[in-house]
Amino acid sequence: QIVFGKGTIAKLDELISQDEKILVTYGGGSIFKNGVYEQVKTALGDRRVIEFGGIESNPTFETLMKAVEVGRREKVTFLLAVGGGSVLDGTKFIAAAIPYEGDDPWDLLSKNAKVIRAIPLASVMTLPATGSEMNSGAVISRKSTQEKLSFGDWKLAPQFSILDPETTYSLPKNQIRNGIVDSYIHVMEQYLTYPVVPPLQDRHAEAILKTLVEEADAILAEPADYDARATYMWSATQALNGNLSCGVVTDWATHGIGHEITAFYGLAHAETLAIVYPALIRYKKEQKREKILQYAQRIFGLCELPGHDLIEEAIRATEVFFHRIGMPTRFSDYGIDAQEAAQRIRDRLMDRNTKLGEHRDIFPEDVYKILMAA
Ligand code: NZQ
Ligand code: ZN
């Protein structure tokens, strides 16, 4: 359930039973600066509440296991994540790890151990980007091994998520830019493959892409514009809530590669996607030809003209859009040596025998070439 609009944090009082013992989780402190913490506290009233703060961006297993300890010791019955995707993803892990009966909850990520039970959870989402507020997935990092892995189970989907666009007013521009790009690429990963289904799924995807392209400037403008922020927040949720993937083949190679870049170099999630994506679609442009042509026409209004390479123009338009909102698209923008990154990531994916893409035909050697071009 999504509860959307101004002042909706107060609804926590209706949505959570008085009897719950709640673990409220949050990140590095943004909720204390923008008034969200106060609103949550007021809404929860006299309920029994324990807090766990300090969940970092790209939440780590090491930190989250401390919250698992607290949750077990205090026998909490409900988890409320307040913050961005990292806090919510971390909380999904905590929800699965508290009742986990195996030896090591990391197995949930590294060995696909089954989520048999989970503590119920909900969120107050303050950063539109990941779609975590309406999906069952989470991405967790492990400092000690420089890994970043995902897992998911519908038992981990939030029972409800409160989305108040006003909570986004305090976001720094780089986080908004990141959120727009992450949402955009979530759609692309589910859209830009090959034609398979009746037109409705494509039209849903295109609606989100076009909205983000058209509204990005208003979303980033100061002072914050409620309608633009509401559009942004709703687009991010729609981009990865399970709707677009119904009945279509999905790609997710960019995410798979991007997580490795974050694991090794610490870049923000969306920053990695913007580096990988243009290089990846250029590399796969023949296989993705039909959808790229459709994308060129429907999102950017480009059409075939003699002497023009429409595919290249569509990829270029995507890069120009990212640059317009301040998002770099090259390793060199971060001072990272592309060759070193390409080698490290290829070697790791070889160890895991990874195959990526909608055809499962992007092998570690292809990833190397894609990254060398980035
Ligand atoms: O930690 P605090 O102090 O709260 O500050 C955060 C953090 O520094 C800040 N922030 C959040 N809301 C704010 C705010 N600052 C001011 N005002 C607000 N309203 O923003 C910074 C980044 O937050 P974070 O939660 O890390 O960002 P995001 O929401 O982009 O989440 C990124 C994580 O989600 C994963 C990524 O891999 C990454 O680990 N993803 C999760 C997915 C999912 N569950 O489905 C899918 C995605 O593809 C993605 O992989
Ligand atoms: Zn993403």
- Summarised one tens digit per residue, pLDDT across range 53-110 is 999 999 999 999 999 999 999 999 999 999 999 999 999 999 999 999 999 999 999 9
Q: Among the atoms of ligand 1, which is closest to the Cα of residue 150?
A: 50
CA–CA separation, 197 and 216 (whole Å): 29
Residue 311 Cα to ligand 2 midpoint, Å, equals: 24
Q: Among the atoms of ligand 1, which is closest to the Cα of residue 132?
A: 44
Asked if residue 22 lies in contact with residue 47, where contact means CB atoms within 8 angstroms, the answer is yes
Closest ligand, as measured to the CA of 58: 1
Tokens of 292: 């790229």
pLDDT band at 197 (very low <50, low <70, confident <90, very high): confident
pLDDT band at 304 (very low <50, low <70, confident <90, very high): confident
DSSP of 126-161: -STTS-GGGSSEEEEEEGGGTEEEEEE-GGGS-S-E
Closest ligand, as measured to the CA of 182: 2
Q: What is the pLDDT of residue 267?
A: 98
Q: What is the pLDDT of residue 107?
A: 98
Q: Mean pLDDT throughout 143-165?
A: 98
Residue 84 Cα to ligand 1 midpoint, Å, equals: 4
Q: Return mean pLDDT, the chain.
A: 97
Most ligand 1 atoms within 8 A of CB, residue of 130, 245, 259 to mutate: 130
Residue 297 Cα to ligand 1 midpoint, Å, equals: 32
Closest ligand, as measured to the CA of 171: 1
pTM given for the model: 0.98
Q: What is the pLDDT of residue 241?
A: 98
